Amino acid sequence: METEAKTMADILVVEDEADIANLVRLHLEMLGHRVLCCDTLAYARRALDERAWALVVLDLCLPDGDGLDFCRALRDTDAALPVLMLTARSTEHDRVRGLETGADDYLAKPFGVLELQARIRALLRRAALLEPAPPADGPFEVPPLRVDPARRAASRDGVALDLTATEFDLLSFLARQPGVVFSRQQLLSEVWGYHHAGYEHTVNSHINRLRAKIEQDPSRPRLIRTVWGVGYKLEAAEAA
C-alpha cells in the first residue's frame, strides 16, 4: 500500500450514477490516485482529448450513448490504455461482449470496494504504473511470433501487432513457455493477478481477441491451441 500511495495514477471514471461514481472516486483516492468523474460520454471524450490518463473505469450504460461503442472507439485510438468496465447487465453474454469490445476487465454491479481496488491495482501493475518493471528477459521467438518484454512489443513475420496491455501480457506469458498447457484459472492468476472463481470467461474473451490479431485464420487457430477440458497453449507454426 505504501508504494501505491507514492505513485499516483490519473484515473478517469465514466459513470452517471452519482452514488457509484463517488464510491469509486473515494476508494481510488484512498489508494493515492487522482480521479475525475464524468457523467456523460461527451464529458469523457473531452477529458481524454485534454490530457493523458492511466486507466478508465467505464460504465456500460450512459445517458448519451453505449459504453460498448465508446470502448470500441477508444481502442481504435489507444490500444494500451487499461479499461475496467462496470456493468449491471447480468448475463454472461453481455459481460463477454464488453471484454471482446476491448475492455481489459469487468466488474459486475453491485461490487465490493476491496475487489474494485484489487482490480485497479492489477490493471495498473500490468501498465507498469505501480511497480517497477521486472528485469527484462527475452525476446522470445515462437515462429512466426516475436515477443520483446523489454520494449513491450510483439510482431508476426516482422509486422508489429497492435495489442492492448492485457493482450500483450497474455501473449508474453504463453510465449515464455511454448507448448506448455495452462488452465484458465492459472492464466487468470498469473496474467490478471487475482484468483476469483467464475471469471474464467475473461480469459476466453482475451484469447479470442488475441487470436484475431495473431492467427491467419482465427476460426482455425494454429498458434494458440485449445486443449479441451484443460486450457490453452502457444505453439510455433511449424509444430502446429
Decide if 75 contacts 165 (C-beta within 8 A): no
Where do we find the cell 449491471?
Answer: 88
Decide if 29 contacts 22 (C-beta within 8 A): no
**Do 24 and 53 sit in the same domain of this protein?**
yes
**Do 36 and 14 sit in the same domain of this protein?**
yes
Q: What total of structural domains would you count in the chain?
A: 2
In this prediction the pTM is: 0.62
**Do 35 and 109 sit in the same domain of this protein?**
yes
Top-ranked range on mean pLDDT: pick from 55-69, 86-100, 115-129: 55-69
Q: What is the mean pLDDT of the chain?
A: 86
C-alpha cell at 203: 480469459
Share of the chain above pLDDT 90, in %: 52
- Which residues lie across from 154 on neighbouring strands? 147
pLDDT value at position 193? 75
Share of the chain above pLDDT 70, in %: 87
- Domain membership of residue 94 (yes or no) is yes
pLDDT digits (tens, 9 = 90+) for 135-173: 457 688 999 999 998 888 999 999 999 998 889 999 999
**Do 113 and 162 sit in the same domain of this protein?**
no
Domain boundary among 126, 154, 178: 126
pLDDT value at position 122? 86
Decide if 101 contacts 72 (C-beta within 8 A): yes
Q: How far apart are CA 217 and CA 220, in angstroms?
A: 5
Q: What band does 226 get if pLDDT is binned at 50, 70 and 90?
A: very high
**Do 117 and 167 sit in the same domain of this protein?**
no
- Which residues lie across from 35 on neighbouring strands? 11
**Do 33 and 119 sit in the same domain of this protein?**
yes
- Domain membership of residue 185 (yes or no) is yes
**Do 13 and 88 sit in the same domain of this protein?**
yes
**Do 121 and 146 sit in the same domain of this protein?**
no
Domain boundary among 84, 100, 126: 126
**Do 23 and 107 sit in the same domain of this protein?**
yes
- The domain in which residue 92 lies consists of 2-126
**Do 103 and 185 sit in the same domain of this protein?**
no
pLDDT value at position 37? 97
Q: In the predicted model, what is the mean pLDDT of residues 68-78?
A: 90
